[in-house]
Amino acid sequence: DSGVTQTPKHLITATGQRVTLRCSPRSGDLSVYWYQQSLDQGLQFLIQYYNGEERAKGNILERFSAQQFPDLHSELNLSSLELGDSALYFCASSVGLYDEQYFGPGTRLTVT
Amino acid sequence: AQTVTQSQPEMSVQEAETVTLSCTYDTSESDYYLFWYKQPPSRQMILVIRQEAYKQQNATENRFSVNFQKAAKSFSLKISDSQLGDAAMYFCAYRSAIYYGGSQGNLIFGKGTKLSVKP
């Protein structure tokens, strides 16, 4: 157990819908990363937050957004969902900006 | 931009034997970290081993060791005395060590190598 929690474990929704994925980092970790794992694209970095502020962006679609709250948990919002958004979404956390990252168990999103 | 390449989509090894997974990367940075992650069928990402670029000594963790060739930009993983529980996807990953004005602290992954272990 890495200490990073993600909810829900599984999510099934229809095209065009909006979902929110939640991540709670390890106690004391200020940095949260979101990654997407799909068959087509492999493991890709989406976005990073540090102590409530957005720090870095990767290949994140405009339909996707995220935020980190004062209690340091983070949410990834996916809207206008398409079939191609079906993937495993991982959250990882680290103490600082360039420290060891610990992965959560992931949220499996299926868009039908 | 940094890239990571794993040229072996699948590998197979006999139980108790040794197997080596290959990884090459491309970067213009001099300071960085390299990692091997294991992803079993449970899908959890598990850190197997890490290597700091400025350390010449190859990292070792029990049955797992790496062969880090900085000049060749090569980072292979050797698994000794393979066990059935080693069967998984293995991902090689790169991360910048410090801010390089444009680089970020996120992990950059290869496509992965699926390792099967035969009893």
Average pLDDT over residues A77-95: 96
Of B47, B99, B106, which is closest to A33 when you measure between CB atoms? Answer: B106
Question: Could you give the CA distance from residue B107 to residue B37 in angstroms, rounded to a whole number?
Answer: 11
pLDDT (tens digit per residue) in B31-53: 899 999 999 999 999 999 999 99
Rg (CA), chain B: 14
Is residue A25 within 8 A of residue A33, CB to CB? The reply is no
**Angle value at C-alpha A2, between B4 and A78, nearest 5 degrees:** 65
- Chain B environment of A56 (Cβ under 8 Å): 104-106
Question: Could you give the CA distance from residue B60 to residue B63 in angstroms, rounded to a whole number?
Answer: 8
pLDDT (tens digit per residue) in A19-56: 999 999 999 999 999 999 998 889 999 999 999 999 98
Residue B27 confidence (pLDDT) = 92
Token pair 């290597």 in the structure block, residue:
B51
Residue B104 confidence (pLDDT) = 67
Is residue B35 within 8 A of residue B47, CB to CB? The reply is yes
- Chain B environment of A43 (Cβ under 8 Å): 91, 107, 109, 112
Q: Which two tokens stand for residue B2?
A: 């940094």
Q: List beta partners, residue A6.
A: A23
**Which of A49, A48, A78 has the alpha carbon at shortest distance from A63?**
A78
